Structure 1
Amino acid sequence: MAIKQYMRQLYEGLWPNNIVLKQTLALCPTLAVTSSATNGLGMGLATLVVIMLSNVSISCIRSWVTPQVRLPVFTLIIAALVTLVDQAMNAWVHDLHKILGLFIPLIVTNCAIFGRAESFASKNAPVPSLVDGLATGIGFTFALVLLGASREIVGQGTLFSHASLLLGPHFTWLEVTLLPNYHGFLPAILPSGGFFFLGLLIVGYRLVEQVRVKRKLSASAMSMESTS
């Protein structure tokens, strides 16, 4: 039963309750750092680590924190974890750290992290909270990589450029040139392109959701007819 529940949590975080495509949260880093799939992956993974650790930490201390001070305590925990992640990236993936810049410390202000801490981690045990953080982080990373990949392909004709900066030299095979001799389309990787491509992704997401809901309703109607 627990495994099914955790799998359901992962699915909910990835698609039906995706914090970017469904809830339209955390749009500042989503729009700012997704000029390439590699940048989106780096920011997504950093946020994933923070939200998992913060969920577990807050869940462990939830019975000791009074409601009056919970928000300052949550802020302090998240800020400390973001500082650790920021310093780790500066030490081990310095080039990518320079590209992401200020947006790594700004993970502290990510409303999705506070939202999961307040609505889930502060009310549940550590293991479900860990899974919830993993699900939310995977969904966020998926949205950032999808947006970054679409902007990078249109803007530069490449995919996962400079992936070795994030994952190491053994992952240079991810760096693909999809459109040789392509001169690029600059607006796609500018901030205005972020708004445009995010709008397209949200439209596509809602169209897919409409089809999914219609199929689910038709399947339930057919099952009811067969039982009657």
Structure 2
Amino acid sequence: MTAPTPRAILEYGLSSGNVGLVQLLGLCPLLAVSNNAVNALGLGLATVLALTATNTAVAGIRRLTRRDVRIPAFILVIAAVVTSIELAMRAWLPALHAVLGLFIPLIVTNCALMGRAEAFASRHDPARAALDGFATGLGFLWVLLALGAVRELAGEGSLFAGAGHLLGLPGLELVAAGYPGFVPAVLPIGAFLALAGLVALRQGWRLRRAGAGA
């Protein structure tokens, strides 16, 4: 089997195999946490770190794990990594940890982690596995951040509001004075509509590319 190139790995994770926009995995955090850009950024970065670390670890133990126990072993690795991330966030970013709450440990249940561990990391070397985890996580992050930014801008007329308190980055905060707000954008229905819009935009872009190349 020919090993994929770094460019192919990045393209798959960011675009053609995007877990949030194409495979529609991890929809629970994708829809629930994307009510604003700060929450989206926090959970997205945690997911990038979790995917990169678990892929690397799984690739490192792939020759030591018997086929009949590999799935429990992968689950153990994923749980250990996510627990470590949660403890670190609780220690260093307590305000953000309090806001995200249950969605941090629920990264364990994100199908993207187990999917990439089984489909890619268990079949390739640690370097390629780490790149695949990073690309997959980055693809999830940009979709999550796009949803959060669109919903926050439409719903509250702000962007990265609370970044100073939650992330220690006050320079990111942008607020439009006098904006009346559009409440449905930050409600659950807004998440579904925003995701549907992104999916439709991607499909339209693919169809235009296919038409141009015909």
Q: TM-score, normalised by structure 1?
A: 0.89
Preserved contact between residue 29 and residue 103 of structure 1 (Cα < 8 Å) = yes
Task: Indicate if the aligned counterparts of 1:42 and 1:166 stay in contact, CA closer than 8 A.
Answer: no
- Counterpart of 1:114 in structure 2 is 114
**Structure 1 Cα separation of the partners of residues 105 and 210 of structure 2:** 38
Q: Match for 1:12: what amino acid?
A: Y
1:76 aligns with 2:76: yes
Q: Which letter does structure 1 place at the counterpart of 2:211? A: K
Cα deviation, 1:51-78, whole Å, max 9, x if unaligned, reads 1000000000001111111111111110
**1:176 paired to 2:174:** yes
Q: CA deviation at 1:212?
A: 2.4
CA distance in 1: counterparts of 2:166 and 2:115, whole angstroms: 28
2:99 is aligned to 99
Q: Which residue is 2:144 aligned to? A: 144
Determine which of 200, 206, 211 is the counterpart of 2:208. 211
Question: Structure 1 residues 24, 167: closer, same or farther in 2, change over 3 A?
Answer: same
SS in 2 for 1:20: coil
The one-letter code matched in structure 2 to 1:194 is A
Compute the displacement of 1:164 (Å). Answer: 2.5
CA distance in 1, matches of 2:171, 2:179: 20
Percent pairwise identity = 45
Larger Rg: 1
The answer to whether the 8 Å contact 2:96/2:167 transfers is no
Q: Report the AA paired with residue 172 of structure 1.
A: P
Which of 168, 173, 187 is equivalent to 1:190?
Answer: 187
Q: Structure 1: where are the runs of 5+ without partners? A: 219-228
CA distance in 1, matches of 2:12, 2:109: 23
* Structure 2 counterpart of 1:176, one-letter code: L
Shift of 1:153: 0.5
Q: Say if 1:93 and 1:165, in contact at 8 Å, map to a contact too.
A: no
Letter of the structure 2 residue corresponding to residue 52 of structure 1 = T
Which secondary structure does the structure 1 equivalent of 2:16 belong to?
coil
Q: How far off its partner does 1:214 sit? A: 2.6
Could you tell me whether the CA contact under 8 Å between 1:19 and 1:26 is conserved in 2? yes
Give a deviation string over 1:149-185, Cα, whole Å, max 9, x none.
00000110001111234542xx3221112x3201212
Corresponding residue SS for 1:152: helix
Question: Which residue identity does 2:41 align to in structure 1?
Answer: L
Residue in 2 that maps onto 1:37: 37
Shift of 1:82: 0.5
The answer for the alignment partner of 1:50 in structure 2 is 50
CA-based RMSD? 1.3
Large movers: runs of 4+ above 6 Å: none
Match of 1:223 in 2: none
Are the equivalent residues in 1 in contact too, given 2:89–2:97 (CA < 8 A)? yes
Q: After TM superposition, give the deviation of residue 196 of structure 1 in Å.
A: 1.3
> What amino acid does structure 1 have at the position aligned with 2:31?
L
Structure 2 length normalisation: TM-score? 0.94
Letter aligned with residue 206 of structure 1 = Q
Q: Is the 8 A contact 2:18 2:140 kept in 1?
A: yes
C-alpha deviation, 1:7, in angstroms: 2.7
Structure-2 residue corresponding to 1:21: 21
